[in-house]
Amino acid sequence: MLLTTQLLGVFLRVLSNLVLNELFQPFLILKLFCLINALLIPLMTTNQPNLLLKVPIGLLQIPAIAKNKIKTGSRKIKLSLVIPTYNERENIPTIVHKLTQLLNDVIPNAYELIVVDDNSPDLTWEVAQKIKPEYPQLQVMLREKERGLSTAVIRGWQIAGGEILGVIDADLQHPPETILKLLAEMERGADLAVASRHIEEGGVSEWNIIRRLLSRGAQVLGLIILPGVVGRVSDPMSGYFMVRREVLAGKTLNPKGYKILIEVLGRGNIRCLGEVGYVFQERLEGKSKVAWKQYIEYLQHLLTLRLAKWPVGRFTRFGIVGFSGVFVDIAIFYLLRKTIGLGLTRSAVLSAEVGIINNFLWNDLWTFRDISRSQRGWPKRVKRLLKFNLICLTALIFNLLIVNLLFNLFGVNEYLAKLIAIATVTLWNFWINMKLSWRVTQVDK
Ligand SMILES: Nc1nc2c(ncn2[C@@H]2O[C@H](COP(=O)(O)OP(=O)(O)O)[C@@H](O)[C@H]2O)c(=O)[nH]1
Ligand SMILES: [Mg+2]
């Protein structure tokens, strides 16, 4: 396509030159020479074996249609496998060799290996460049301005030509043979195929108890903060997987640290999942780059994804409605006490109930209107009101418990204790009501 446009451009320019030539005959040959050069030089350079891939800049977004079709010409790429590297000069020739052997058997010419190196001090990228003539499927990207495993993988995917995007560590801790099983899962229709240490045929080689605990601890933490994401696969910490381009296309990714799979699970439209077992091998060459920083980044990453999934608009409306309820409650309390002269407890109970009904109506008409509209009819509305009432009652009990606990047991200032209780109870109220009173699964079809 680009070639056609370029040729058309040249044709038009030549044509205009010919017209101009009527006036400037002596320059024609020189101009033609320059134009042919302008066309040929970029074509020649993209075919140069020692050319590094251009590092994409800007947002971490995967295009829906592969951008590097020019490079690969008519060759259709099925799999683009990124190999992120940092100080892996001893490992890179072996992993490239093994992967090439395996993939040449099943999808010759229909795959590419993309090494993304973050300017390793041991010059891994240079080693990869040197072996390129032996491996026509190999390409190398050298990043000098960015650092980090997850972003390296995405930068590689951004320029990839395949419909399936994959990642594998360079250090041979991910057995290359498993790549074929992953590919088979994708060919069976999976949107995401993950190599897992925690299913049959999976495991870790010689991990000590601390390392096992840290790995499992990270998984449990993920399950607490992001159950709907982390709980979808048995090994959410895996860095060895394949994903279909279309499930990520157009999404803005924002991973921190090492756990790219969590980002893919959290932001991708993944319906069909496949898992294959593998044993995480010991490193023979080079060193792991994992440090405490990666654990902090992991926690940050989980929280960022949690926030991105939080229904901010709905929660804001719920908060505003809750605030309006306070005024209704106080106004009714005042009326009952001053004008009717009702007793304190009765006034408090009645006014609280009016406040609850006020909140219910606004939430039903505004906060959750999309859901209540599809669950019409008074019986359903009354059911929602009863649930809402019940949840508010549990919230009141919680409120009392928290204030007492903070004030009496931990000696927290009573107003601060009350504020903490209100914040906690509002969150609880919102969440439980969303899950029970205005449940999306009850929507009438
Ligand atoms: N491009 C890039 N690759 C990295 C970075 N950190 C680690 N890697 C690569 O990611 C893979 C896994 O890293 P490693 O330190 O072995 O993690 P571990 O196996 O969990 O200990 C290896 O291929 C590393 O070379 C980084 O900052 N940038
Ligand atoms: Mg490793």
For residues 44, 47, 51, 55, the Cα torsion angle rounded to the nearest 10 degrees is: 100
Q: Which atom of ligand 1 is nearest to the CA of 91?
A: 23
Q: Which atom of ligand 1 is nearest to the CA of 87?
A: 25
| pLDDT at residue 374, as a whole number | 85
| pLDDT at residue 414, as a whole number | 87
| pLDDT at residue 28, as a whole number | 47
Model confidence at 72, in pLDDT bands (50, 70, 90)? Answer: low
Three-class DSSP category at 411: coil
pLDDT, tens only, 249-281: 999 999 988 899 999 999 999 999 999 999 999
Token code pair at residue 161: 């030509």
Measured between alpha carbons, how far apart are the two ends of the chain, in Å?
45
Of the candidates 302, 170, 300, which has an alpha carbon nearest to the alpha carbon of residue 239?
A: 170
Q: Which atom of ligand 1 is nearest to the CA of 173?
A: 19
Going 422 to 428 to 434 to 439, the CA torsion angle's sign is negative
Q: What value, to the nearest 5°, has the Cα angle with vertex 322 and ends 318 and 328?
A: 145
Distance (Å, whole) CA 190 – CA 350:
56
pLDDT, tens only, 181-198: 999 999 999 999 999 999
In this structure, the strands spanning 164-167 and 192-196 are unpaired
Token code pair at residue 317: 């409306």
pLDDT, tens only, 381-411: 999 999 999 999 999 898 899 999 999 999 9
8 A C-beta contact, residue 279 and residue 175: yes
Total-model pTM: 0.71
Confidence check: pLDDT of 341 > 80? yes
Q: Which atom of ligand 1 is nearest to the CA of 147?
A: 27
Q: How far is CA 306 from CA 62, 222, 229, in A?
A: 22, 10, 9
Amino acid at residue number 115: V
85 lines ligand 1 (CB under 6 A): yes
Amino acid at residue number 389: N
Closest ligand (CA of 170) = 1
86 lines ligand 1 (CB under 6 A): yes
Span from the CA of 139 to the centroid of ligand 2 (angstroms):
21
Q: Stretch 62-69: mean pLDDT, rounded?
A: 80
Distance (Å, whole) CA 139 – CA 125:
10
* Domain range 69-309, its CATH number among 1.10.3720.10, 3.90.550.10, 3.40.50.2300, 1.10.645.10: 3.90.550.10
149 lines ligand 1 (CB under 6 A): yes
| pLDDT at residue 167, as a whole number | 98
| pLDDT at residue 23, as a whole number | 43
| pLDDT at residue 154, as a whole number | 97
Confidence check: pLDDT of 70 > 80? no
- Strand order across the beta sheet in which 111-117 lies: 138-142, 111-117, 79-85, 164-167, 241-244, 192-196, 273-277
60 lines ligand 1 (CB under 6 A): no
pLDDT, tens only, 105-138: 999 999 999 999 999 999 999 999 999 999 999 9
Percentage of the residues of the chain whose pLDDT score is greater than 90: 64
Amino acid at residue number 355: G
Domain ranges of the chain: 2-46, 69-309, 312-442
Give the count of beta carbons closer than 10 Å to the beta carbon of residue 198: 18
Ligand 1 pocket check: which of 289, 292, 294 to mutate, most ligand atoms within 8 Å of Cβ?
289
Model confidence at 316, in pLDDT bands (50, 70, 90)? Answer: very high
Give the count of beta carbons closer than 10 Å to the beta carbon of residue 124: 26
